[in-house]
Amino acid sequence: MEGLLTLWRDTGLANFELGQMIMMAVGAGLLFLAIARGYEPLLLLPIGFGCILANIPMAGFTEEGGVLWYIYYIGIETGIFPLLIFMGVGAMTDFGALIANPKMLFLGASAQFGIFATLFGAIALNVVPGFEFSLADASAIAIIGGADGPTAIFLASKLAPELLGAIAVAAYSYMALVPIIQPPIMKALTTSKEREIVMEQLRHVSKREKIIFPLAVLFLTILFLPAATPLVGMFCLGNLMRESGVVDRLSSTAQNELINIVTIFLGLAVGSKLSAESFLSVETLGILALGAVAFSIGTASGVMMAKVMGRFSKSPINPLLGAAGVSAVPMAARVVNKVGLEANPHNFLLMHAMGPNVAGVLGSAVAAGILLAIVGG
């Protein structure tokens, strides 16, 4: 009889807690979104599975010496995984649309307004019982508004590692929900006539310009915001490998094998932080709500900036392009193109939208650098 009791105590059934079951259901929900809905499957699938593993009682996945503990320590706590992801994204990014129309930098910058608006919102939540966000916590939460998962993870790992799970899930969830969240905001802030505006064809961008651009971006970052150089530098390295044309093997590896391997481990590491004891709290709900506000404000501010620019520009600017300023590449650009085609079947905005879209990647990295320099310092 004693042996049977000992065997029972060693089973998962005898050790499951309600919070663990809830979080495993959350993990299953993320798997559903990834598999059935196709929402950011490359990250939501490993995050969801990591969440399930992290909440298995007595398995020791997240305890010191466990496989998820090692993955998190090696890749997230050191900040390596987000930087490698940025290098891969840089290798996959074509800056041609932004170089051809540099005014789009303003749209990428304006879409980051959601980050700083949410920073004050997170601080303001401290008046509500149950919320105790420090300035570092608020800064890490605010970066969700940039719709850039690696940047959110990088900043959270530096400023608020205890909130990493909630911030990462919020960032990637809202990135996945771009096709649902953005169109109503875009349509509410524009008229049908504005959405029908056809952009002028972009000029041809030479190879020399594409090679010089990442070097110039890195140089300016070194001069004015060194704290952002880890993210911007890796991004520019990946892009230079792509555009130089002399290291095709390295560029291909960064775009495929390397980024795929890192994505698997990054997702598992984020999922490892979704344990019941750290995730099920009122602060987590506040983070999810603030993330939605940040993303919405970023979308709206981008659209409004595009409308302002259109009034003073000699060439027409479709205000929908402002929504691509959030750095959900390339999904935000595709959403802009889709809404534009709904208004005018001959209005192809995809290449134009890639300008503010990649500007948003740089904008979110710069915003993270600013927050890290001010708060982390």
Residue 117 predicted with pLDDT over 90: no
Query: In angstroms, how far is CA 110 from the centroid of its own chain?
Result: 16
Q: CA 285 to CA 171: how far, in whole Å?
A: 13
Question: Helices 350-371 & 331-343, crossing angle to 10 degrees?
Answer: 140
Whether residue 111 contacts residue 360, with contact meaning beta carbons closer than 8 Å, is answered with yes
Name the band, by pLDDT with cuts 50, 70 and 90, for residue 11. Answer: low
C-alpha distance across the termini of the chain, in Å: 60
Pick the more confident residue, 288 or 337: 337
**Residues whose CB is less than 8 angstroms from the CB of residue 339 and which lie 6 or more positions away in sequence, other chains included:** 183, 186, 187, 195, 320
Q: What is the pLDDT of residue 115?
A: 87
What does the pLDDT look like over 21-67, one tens digit per residue? 999 999 999 899 889 988 778 888 998 999 999 998 888 888 888 99
- The values of phi and psi at residue 16, to 5°, are -65, 135
Mean per-residue pLDDT of the chain: 88
- Domains of the chain, by residue range, sit at 62-376
Helix (H, G, I), strand (E, B) or coil at 49: helix
Q: CA 232 to CA 377: how far, in whole Å?
A: 19
Q: What is the pLDDT of residue 303?
A: 95
Helix (H, G, I), strand (E, B) or coil at 360: helix
Query: Tokens in use for 226?
Result: 């060194």
Closest among 77, 76, 94 to 85, alpha carbons compared: 76
> What type of residue sits at position 10?
D
Query: Tokens in use for 331?
Result: 């999904």
Query: Tokens in use for 334?
Result: 């595709």
What does the pLDDT look like over 219-267, one tens digit per residue? 999 999 998 999 999 999 999 999 999 999 999 999 999 999 999 999 9
Closest among 149, 147, 110, 140 to 122, alpha carbons compared: 140
> What type of residue sits at position 209?
E
